Amino acid sequence: MADEHKRLDSNVEGNFFVDATCINCDTCRQLAPASFEEVGSFSAVTRQPTDHGPVQQAYQALLACPVGAIGTEQSDKVRVQEAMASFPLHLEGGVSYCGFNSEKSFGANSFFIEHPDGNWLIDSPRYLKHLVEAFEQKGGIGYIFLTHKDDVADAEKYAAHFGAKRIIHRADLDAAPDAEWVIEGADSRQVMPHFLIIPVPGHTAGSMALLYKNTFLFTGDHLWWDSLQQRLGAPTRLVWRKHVLVDSIQKLLDYPFEWVLAGHGDRTRLPADEMRAQLRALVERRQTTRVLS
């Protein structure tokens, strides 16, 4: 729980606040952008929410924060319960954001796909009773797709509870050495109707993206939406091999998609042609940088 005695000075006065345990993972800024911003090396409440929507978003951020760095001077139990019940947060077409980001993955986002042939968990949130029960009500989990070694978090616990198959690339297998399904090589593969696994090495040697229904692209830490610059972004540090990363970004031009659902960085939905233009612009920026460097 957040400690009011550690409340950051960058917070505006009012009920919601961020304390000094913040790891600046961006979770709160994604969920409640009207209230939270990055100030220095931390997130902070820069506008206190007053209307119902922003207040609920702020409580969602409080619950999703991986380190419990968000607090309130006075908590509204009804609003907390409403925010709790909103997770997993449905986005579109049976795809949801799980919430309850894990400190083990530095606050990475995770997602859930409802599918009649078995539900999928994309990376792992914290292992919590609320999510376990929510997943049970939706038919359990058949597969856990691990985009890369950094965002495994509590995948082993979810796999054990639901009897799910964890999917990870051979190059990142050290993060889940007893995974039930290991992907080899660099070729994309259709593993079942509507599900295409695309190896995208660069951030790590075993990074992978998952394309669902040619609409939803789950990208881990390979690709994200930069909400400040309003464009697609990709890592520039903590990169296994930069030239391989650029090639992997370019590889995605072969596939249509409308959603980018990232582990770190914001998510967004754009028309497929606009998304492709954004991706091409990112490739051009990175290729120019590679030539200049």
In whole angstroms, give the CA distance from residue 92 to residue 242: 33
Please tell me whether residues 264 and 175 are part of one structural domain.
yes
In whole angstroms, give the CA distance from residue 241 to residue 269: 28
pLDDT tops 60 at residue 185: yes
Please tell me whether residues 70 and 160 are part of one structural domain.
no
pLDDT computed for residue 1 by the predictor: 81
What's the Cα-to-Cα distance from 44 to each of 3, 73, 130, rounded to whole Å?
14, 15, 27
Q: Which domain holds residue 107?
A: 88-292
Please tell me whether residues 120 and 242 are part of one structural domain.
yes
**6-26: pLDDT as tens digits:** 999 999 999 999 999 999 999
pLDDT band at 105, cuts 50/70/90?
very high
Please tell me whether residues 238 and 190 are part of one structural domain.
yes
> Which of these three, 69, 84, 99, is where a domain ends?
84
Please tell me whether residues 57 and 179 are part of one structural domain.
no
Strands (E), 32-127: 36-39, 42-45, 70-72, 89-92, 95-97, 111-113, 120-122
The predicted model gives 163-190 an average pLDDT of: 98
> Which of these three, 41, 61, 84, is where a domain ends?
84
pLDDT computed for residue 273 by the predictor: 98
Please tell me whether residues 206 and 280 are part of one structural domain.
yes
pLDDT band at 290, cuts 50/70/90?
low
Q: How many domains does the chain have?
A: 2
Q: Which residue has the tokens 């889940």?
A: 176
**109-158: pLDDT as tens digits:** 999 999 999 999 999 999 999 999 999 999 999 999 999 999 999 999 99
Strands (E), the chain: 16-18, 36-39, 42-45, 70-72, 89-92, 95-97, 111-113, 120-122, 143-145, 165-169, 181-183, 189-192, 195-199, 208-212, 216-220, 224-226, 231-233, 259-262, 268-269
- The domain that holds 193 is classified in CATH as 3.60.15.10
Please tell me whether residues 55 and 122 are part of one structural domain.
no
